[in-house]
Structure 1
């Protein structure tokens, strides 16, 4: 099906169109929140909305309204804008975001296991980044950044006070499920995909998308751990060719922290405090780093191997149009196990001699 957004356009044009769609989606999301706030929560004026959004802990309906607002804005602003871009391109959602399908179910479990293995390593990065300092001439900027992050941390702590199982399930939906779906559709499915095609390099695309992913959270003193997480998610998508794999990893990252918080609040066991910025013991950190590297090497080999399906394409394959027909090509940093070209004689498949490389 031919769409408005052509695959032959420069990737930056596609990204600009998505940015416009995202802006429109956020406007729709805010309008919907205003309507719900007025009809469900009795917020009659914009000043009421502003007051509840800034200090939800002061209002009895603050927790429910803030969770609803965050979930809707993230889903509509990010998730729906990505889906709208796919609709305008004339592609189906599944072929666009998961060209390699079906995939073995253990891939999702392996992605989640990778996140769990990295926890001690991440604690070391969190500790180092939390105690980092700006240059002396930027001390005022550092003070402002820390104040902003303290306010964000205070809000997060309020929203993750689960006084009942129902609140925990709502938190799991808003903080784990919705971000895993919406953010992966955008940062890996749209931004990374187009950056890889723009730069002609999977590595540049993955790292650049990870920088954007971390920066957009506006938390300098958590920038490095989130950057590393973005890189892991990016390579999981590149190697697997299916958006469900980084989604599973992203969900595990957020859900595991929420489960630990809930157990801690219920005084069940001696759970590690996920809010802590202190590093775990260095033997655990070094062991985690070694296991993470080993698991990444294994996942690179397993996920990049051909899947027993006729649709085992990777997400950032590029289509070019020439006089001989449409040819499927990939960035030079990746050699696919099977190349297909469409010419006058039909579809030809030829297997490359060299193995897949990331």
Structure 2
């Protein structure tokens, strides 16, 4: 597949190119939203901003806001990642999922991992929500809290599911679309290029998770989202398939929406997922232990064996064996050590062609 630009660009150039594509994609998404707003909702160009700022004041504010959120995220993030891969001459499956097919239990295990972290995350959320900036950043802290309070009000409005149809729409816009679009960008493109740039899987994963958390502009939820980004990053690194972190990301968002819907319908008296209070410490401690065990198990089951001096780049120059396991070409690792993976995933040496 021939692209518009070289497939061997420096990772930093790829990231800059991604930003440029995203800016263009957001402009395209904005145009689509404006057209749909006029044709479907009868909104003029001057009204669009008012509806977005205060959707509760408009009869169709909820529907229009959900649609605009979904279009912006899908086009601005998801399509941008796909466009970058295509522009650099890569096939999409090869770029985002070089290791395939994926057993169903991998996806289920990723979702189970996320569910197991919920009590642990509640402790992080509690701590981060009550954190304070240094005294010289007092004004910044006040502005940040005011901004997040306003965002929380919008979130509560959008997650007010007065019908099952609204719940399904919310599930699509808040769970499905972010799981696909954000993982394509943050794990599929940003993490990939940062790992290549830094020459370190761990540094690349943590750096991508930092970008993932920072771009949400929620300072009092930064640490929990950072930890989530790290978990998703390692799931992608170990599995070599973007579907695995997508499944985990979807589980995170969908489970919270399901709890909210059950509470609102008075079906179950569950804990409030919007609460910033920590669950009891025995649950938090148990969650930490369970998360550690699940991570260890997933690492053993998912990870492709790599020599200690190699940096595996799961989305770079892989092929597939007949058994569906990833088989890396000699230049798939940095640095190259003349190793490859056999059909059963066992590390075997071969003669380096450069010697």
What TM-score do the two structures reach when normalised by structure 1? Answer: 0.89
Q: Is the CA contact (8 Å cut-off) linking 2:51 and 2:61 kept in structure 1?
A: yes
Matched ranges for 1:239-250 at <5 A: 239-250=238-249
Gaps of 5+ in 2: 306-311, 319-328, 351-355
Give 1:137 deviation, angstroms: 1.2
Aligned residues: 331
Q: 1:350 to 1:152 in 2, by over 3 A?
A: closer
The Cα offsets for residues 242-300 of structure 1, whole Å up to 9 and x where unpaired, read as 00000000000000000000000000121111010000000100110011011101100
Q: Is the CA contact (8 Å cut-off) linking 2:192 and 2:313 kept in structure 1?
A: no
Establish whether residue 329 from structure 1 lines up as the match of residue 332 from structure 2.
yes
The Cα offsets for residues 202-230 of structure 1, whole Å up to 9 and x where unpaired, read as 00100000000000000000000000000
| Structure 2 match to 1:11 | 11
In structure 2, what is the Cα distance between the partners aligned to 1:71 and 1:337?
44
In structure 2, what is the Cα distance between the partners aligned to 1:123 and 1:250?
17
In structure 1, what is the Cα distance between the partners aligned to 2:3 and 2:330?
19
Larger deviation: 267-276 or 142-151?
Answer: 267-276
Larger deviation: 6-15 or 98-107?
Answer: 6-15
Q: Is the CA contact (8 Å cut-off) linking 1:5 and 1:88 kept in structure 2?
A: yes
Q: 1:295 to 1:337 in 2, by over 3 A?
A: farther
In structure 2, what is the Cα distance between the partners aligned to 1:189 and 1:45?
35
In structure 1, what is the Cα distance between the partners aligned to 2:295 and 2:13?
33
What TM-score do the two structures reach when normalised by structure 2? Answer: 0.89
In structure 2, what is the Cα distance between the partners aligned to 1:230 and 1:331?
24
In structure 2, what is the Cα distance between the partners aligned to 1:107 and 1:141?
43
Instruction: Provide the secondary structure at the position in 2 that maps to 1:20.
Output: helix
The Cα offsets for residues 114-151 of structure 1, whole Å up to 9 and x where unpaired, read as 00000000000000000000101111100000000000
Q: Is the CA contact (8 Å cut-off) linking 2:33 and 2:68 kept in structure 1?
A: yes
In structure 1, what is the Cα distance between the partners aligned to 2:259 and 2:102?
30
Q: Is the CA contact (8 Å cut-off) linking 1:111 and 1:246 kept in structure 2?
A: yes
Give 1:339 deviation, angstroms: 5.3
| Structure 2 match to 1:234 | 233
Matched ranges for 1:117-156 at <5 A: 117-156=116-155
| Structure 1 match to 2:256 | 257
Gaps of 5+ in 1: 307-312, 320-325, 341-348, 354-358
The Cα offsets for residues 50-73 of structure 1, whole Å up to 9 and x where unpaired, read as 110100011111000000000000
Q: How well do the aligned residues superpose, as a CA RMSD in angstroms?
A: 2.0
In structure 1, what is the Cα distance between the partners aligned to 2:136 and 2:86?
48
Q: 1:335 to 1:264 in 2, by over 3 A?
A: farther
| Structure 2 match to 1:40 | 40
Q: Is the CA contact (8 Å cut-off) linking 1:133 and 1:142 kept in structure 2?
A: yes
In structure 1, what is the Cα distance between the partners aligned to 2:224 and 2:63?
29
